[in-house]
Amino acid sequence: MIYIGVTGWGDHHSLYPPQMKSKDKLAEYSSHFLTVEVDASFYAVQPIRNASKWVSETPENFRFVVKAYQGMTGHQRTDLPFETRSEMFQAFKDSLTPYQQANKLAMVLFQFPPWFDCKKENVNYLRYCKKMMGDIPVALEFRNQSWFRELYRSGTLAFMKENGWIHAIADEPQAGDGSIPIVPVATDSNMTLIRMHGRNFHGWTKPKNSDTNWREVRYLYKYNEKELLEWKERVLELAKHSRDIIVLFNNNSGGDAAGNAKEFQDMLGIEYEGLAPRQLGLF
């Protein structure tokens, strides 16, 4: 099955009636899409009550992609609220229990930072992460080009297949070492993840300490029809090698993610069954 959705459910204003409260947005979101990425888990290990609430607000066939906590991926390396690394991983795994019990956990996404390059130390850390996560499905997204340079590309993909990593394929600006090319290869026969970040080169390369809020411009991009048609062909090919494909649009700095997701869904001729009832306006 091909699942199409967006990253997060809070900011996609085109989906919601005016003045909709934040607490009601996920239920409304799930009347449009059957998958979403949980971003809050990257910034802090979420209390179980949050996941329980989100699970209860979504249909039976809804699936969550949960981002790994930033301490687990090396984005945050100091002042972690855990005494040991194993304690951190265990707390994160415990937070996944409601998704697992409801059969709504698609995978955990490990997105590594641009400085996480292809070297022995980091390969060993990937092995550690996989061991710590046990049988929980895990996806791997790189942000350093070295993993897919000609010298290492085949080895990287073989490593992912052999160690049970789901490939998180990225579409993003080609901006040197801190970005990766499109590598449309499935490494897991059950699932493949695709994350559509947009192609805003200047926003992607803008320093975080610049005057402009880099988050507001980094994902400022709207995919055109030609670009989406190219991805349609890739997704149909990937679907021959992976049972489920999850496509998440992250290009929402200008509010384009939901619209592009809907457009892509139409291109693929997908009509989802089992969506939540849509809230109706008065007029």
Name the token pair of 136. Answer: 């929980």
3-state SS assignment for residue 155: helix
**Cα(112)–Cα(144) distance, integer angstroms:** 8
CATH of the domain at 251: 3.20.20.410
Lowest mean pLDDT among 69-78, 208-217, 218-227: 208-217
283 part of a folded domain: no
13 part of a folded domain: yes
Total domains in the chain come to 1
202 part of a folded domain: yes
Kindly report the number of other CB atoms within 10 A of residue 270's CB atom: 13
**Cα(25)–Cα(17) distance, integer angstroms:** 10
DSSP code per residue over 94-134: HHTHHHHHTT-EEEEEEE--TT--SSHHHHHHHHHHHHHHT
282 part of a folded domain: no
| β 138-141/165-171 pair status | parallel
Higher pLDDT, 59 or 10: 59
> What's the pLDDT tens digit per position in 220-233?
789 999 999 999 99
Where helices occur in the chain by DSSP H, the ranges are 25-29, 40-43, 48-56, 70-73, 85-95, 97-101, 120-133, 153-163, 201-205, 214-218, 225-238, 257-267
Lowest mean pLDDT among 56-65, 260-269, 274-283: 274-283
275 part of a folded domain: no
**Cα(106)–Cα(99) distance, integer angstroms:** 9
274 part of a folded domain: no
10 part of a folded domain: yes
Predicted TM-score (pTM) of this structure: 0.93
> What's the pLDDT tens digit per position in 72-101?
998 987 778 888 999 999 999 999 999 999
The secondary structure of residue 22, as a DSSP letter, is G
Give exposure, 99-133, as e/b (b: 16+ Cβ within 10 Å): beebebbbbbbbbbbeebbbeeebbebbeebbebb
Domain that holds residue 210: 2-267
131 part of a folded domain: yes
